[in-house]
Amino acid sequence: MSHEIEAGLAGVLILATSVWTGGFAAIAVVARVTARTLAPGDRVAFFRALGRAYGVIGSAALALALGSGAVLVAGRPWDGVLVAAALVAAALVLTLLAGVVQARRMTRLRHGALAEPGDERRADLVRRGARGAGVLRAFIGALALVLIALGAVMAT
């Protein structure tokens, strides 16, 4: 691969990774702020719309980051770092898909809880689901950071 193509791919990788991680961090900040400023029904509607809008951008950024990274390491021998990076990337994608499914489930649960405010069973499901969502988001963030670290190791 020519130096110009490699440099271009590295630029795409850096930009896409920045969009992915920046968006992930921004959503965490937005979640904290909306918890304090929006009514529960408005918050559910907001995050449903945000998820749909950012899902396209975040997914495209992650796909570009993973794709450009894969092309950049295509000729590299499969050593422990590359195997670890491939496994972490696969785990990130699978965990992200689980997160999307979980987020849609939580939207349905929250809508149900808003429709029946006295239903303690449903409120308990929302509370437990929210804790699980936090753990899942933390795991997605950790996988992304580990993948970035492995990429930095491979680049040096």
Give 96-103's long-range contacts (Cβ < 8 A, gap of 24+): 96/62, 96/140, 98/136, 99/133, 99/136, 99/137, 99/140, 100/55, 102/129, 102/132, 102/133, 102/136, 103/47, 103/51, 103/133
Q: For residues 69-84, give the mean pLDDT.
A: 95
pLDDT band at residue 72 under the 50/70/90 scheme: very high
Candidate from 5-9, 15-19, 108-112, 135-139 with smallest mean pLDDT:
108-112
Question: pLDDT per residue over 84-137, tens digit each?
Answer: 999 999 999 999 999 999 999 999 999 899 898 888 999 999 999 999 999 999
Q: For residues 26-53, give the mean pLDDT.
A: 92
Residue 156 is predicted with a pLDDT of: 87
Name residue, tokens 């304090």.
36
Tell me: pLDDT of 11 over 90: yes
Residue 145 is predicted with a pLDDT of: 97
Residue 37: Cβ-neighbour burial (10 angstroms; 0-12, 13-18, 19+): exposed
pLDDT band at residue 1 under the 50/70/90 scheme: confident
Tell me: pLDDT of 10 over 90: yes
